[in-house]
């Protein structure tokens, strides 16, 4: 399914960004795809600001179709309340580099997985105090999650316990380190 | 309504109504972590419900949005199974309802992920990953409470017995279900009962609880939530859920 996200800023989008030259839009100074990826790489996940939406793996494609930038994103969880905010932030960031009429497309298939999270993203999560996703959930079986080893992002100990299957957001679970006694969030494998 | 539209509304209504029930736990959970967890399960369901009802509105072609369908239909127009509209009861009741529903939900979504309708298949493929996690969580709690203290064991047993009659509806098929199953749009609910019994039975056994055996409200039925026949509880739920849109039509922020 391909659905175009309705723009909240249709009028604003038709205006050139502050300081931009009027002829820039669609003209020869259109940024390259690499520049667009770089720009998106600086958009933080609103709920986990330590990593960008590119490192999170939700930006699926950036292309230019008939002279217009097209960004394909996929939601993490169906109910993620940050989805609308992420779309607005993408538009703003692209406008900063002179792309004011990007088309934003949401795709559901294939569904997002934490396997798409970059190694760099996982490293940054750990640094931020969130344990990165470790294993893929067994769809069929009775819970084995409590038996999974999730090392503490602070002291590295493997002696940790699950406190709750959900943490501060839908994408995280809550753990506690049995050695340093610090509670921490675990980014659930999905 | 066409069978296709019926299906989307049934799926969406199950999600929206159960999400509303789970949201009622916010501020009342036994511990803060459970408060958050129940709300997050509800959030997943709400997201899924939005996708089903948005599609339903498009298929209907009368310009109704997900919000119109959720907030401006009366209870006889709702198509959720009765199980999901039942009051939360105590924590054991809520987890028993969740155990029963989550397993049926997962089996349904696994079938729908192979739907002849590509959009249904996509939504189901996304939703089933979330619901697989709900299943894990519900299994965990039922085992923990069933195989817990004397008090928690007794209350968990009471809860699974009390809600048992309402499980029958999830595996009964009406003309809509049969037509959709024959067309490859959705799995036949009757075919899901055996795998459901096996999965739920394994959890109940591990929880050291006794599997309910009652036949009342099991098997073929004349009418239930899927046909718009509800318990007295749904009207009260909708009155609260729909209040704002009914009192201030079109309000948004």
Domains (ranges, CATH) in chain B? 3-247 (1.20.1260.10)
Q: Is residue A112 part of a domain?
A: no
Do residue A101 and residue A181 come from a single domain? no
Q: Say if residue A26 is in the same domain as residue A91.
A: yes
Do A101 and A26 lie in one domain? The reply is yes
Number of folded domains that form chain A:
2
Q: A37 touching B, CB under 8 A?
A: no
Interface test with B, best of A5, A6, A79, A168 (most B CBs within 10 A): A79
Contact list in B for residue A166 (CB cut-off 8 A) is 33, 36-37, 40-41
Average confidence score pLDDT of chain A: 82
Residue spans of alpha helices (H) in B73-117: 82-85, 91-112
Domain C-terminal end among A84, A107, A130: A107
Tell me how far CA of residue A97 lies from CA of A29, A49, A70, B144, B236, in angstroms: 10, 21, 14, 54, 52
Which of A107, A130, A160 is the endpoint of a domain?
A107
- Residue A95: CATH number of its domain: 3.30.300.130
Same domain, yes or no: A60 and A92: yes
Highest mean pLDDT among A27-31, A77-81, A157-161, B76-80: B76-80
Residues A41 and A54: their CA atoms lie apart, in Å, by 5
User: Does any domain span residue A153?
Assistant: yes
What ipTM score was computed for the predicted complex, to two decimals?
0.85
Cα distances from B77 to residues A175, B69, B70, B225, B228, in angstroms, run 43, 9, 10, 10, 6
pLDDT at B143: 96
| Structural domain boundaries enclosing A84 | 2-107
Identify whether residues A61 and A12 lie together within a single domain. Answer: yes
Q: Average pLDDT across each block of 10 residues of chain B; the chain has 253 residues. List them in order.
A: 96 98 94 91 97 98 97 97 97 98 98 98 96 94 97 98 96 96 97 97 97 84 88 98 95 84
Among B33, B50, B143, beta carbon nearest to A163: B33
User: Does a cis peptide bond (omega within 30 degrees of 0) precede residue B127?
Assistant: no
* Residue indicated by tokens 């002829």: A23
Q: Are residues A21 and A77 in the same domain?
A: yes
How far apart CA B27 and CA A41 sit, in angstroms, is 37
Residue where a domain stops, chosen among A107, A134, A168: A107
Q: Is residue A35 part of a domain?
A: yes
Residues A17 and A57 in one domain: yes
Contact assessment for residue B172 and residue B219, using Cβ atoms and an 8 Å cutoff? yes
Q: Going edge to edge, which strands form the sheet with A59-65?
A: A2-4, A103-107, A68-73, A59-65
**By CB neighbour count within 10 A (0-12 exposed, 13-18 middle, 19+ buried), where does B25 fall?**
buried
């Amino acid at each position: 399914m391909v659905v175009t996200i309705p723009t909240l800023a249709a009028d604003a989008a038709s205006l050139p960004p502050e300081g931009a030259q009027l002829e820039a839009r669609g003209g020869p100074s259109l940024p390259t795809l690499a520049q667009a990826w770089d720009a998106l790489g600086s958009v933080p996940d609103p709920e986990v600001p330590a990593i960008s939406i590119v490192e999170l793996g939700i930006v699926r494609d950036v292309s230019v179709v008939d002279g217009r930038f097209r960004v394909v994103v996929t939601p993490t969880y169906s109910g993620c309340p940050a989805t609308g905010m992420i779309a607005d932030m993408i538009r703003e960031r692209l406008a900063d580099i002179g792309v004011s009429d990007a088309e934003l497309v949401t795709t559901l298939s294939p569904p997002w997985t934490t396997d798409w999270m970059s190694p760099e993203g996982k490293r940054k999560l750990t640094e931020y105090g969130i344990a990165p996703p470790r294993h893929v959930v067994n769809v069929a079986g009775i819970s084995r999650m409590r038996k999974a080893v999730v090392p503490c992002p602070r002291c590295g100990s493997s002696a940790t316990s699950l406190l709750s299957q959900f943490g501060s957001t839908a994408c995280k679970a809550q753990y506690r380190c049995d050695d340093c006694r610090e509670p921490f969030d675990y980014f659930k494998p999905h | 309504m066409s069978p296709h539209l019926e299906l989307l509304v049934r799926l969406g209504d199950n999600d929206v109504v159960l999400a509303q029930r789970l949201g009622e736990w916010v501020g009342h959970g036994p511990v803060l972590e459970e408060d958050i967890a129940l709300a997050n399960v509800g959030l997943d369901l709400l997201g899924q419900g939005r996708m089903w009802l948005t599609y339903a509105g498009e298929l209907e072609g009368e310009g109704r949005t997900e919000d119109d369908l959720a907030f401006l239909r009366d209870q006889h127009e709702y198509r959720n199974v009765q199980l999901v509209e039942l009051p939360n009861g105590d924590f054991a009741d809520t987890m028993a309802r969740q155990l029963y529903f989550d397993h049926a939900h997962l089996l349904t979504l696994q079938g729908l992920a192979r739907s002849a309708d590509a959009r249904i298949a996509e939504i189901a493929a996304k939703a089933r990953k979330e619901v697989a996690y709900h299943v894990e969580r519900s299994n965990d709690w039922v085992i923990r409470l069933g195989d817990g203290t004397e008090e928690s064991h007794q209350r968990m047993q009471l809860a699974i017995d009390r809600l048992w009659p309402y499980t029958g509806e999830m595996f009964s098929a009406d003309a809509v279900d049969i037509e959709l199953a024959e067309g490859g749009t959705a799995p036949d609910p009757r075919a899901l009962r055996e795998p459901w019994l096996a999965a739920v039975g394994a959890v109940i056994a591990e929880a050291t609880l006794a599997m309910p055996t009652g036949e009342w409200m099991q098997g073929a039925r004349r009418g239930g939530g899927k046909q718009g026949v509800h318990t007295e509880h749904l009207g009260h739920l909708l009155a609260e859920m729909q209040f704002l849109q009914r009192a201030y039509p079109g309000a948004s922020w």
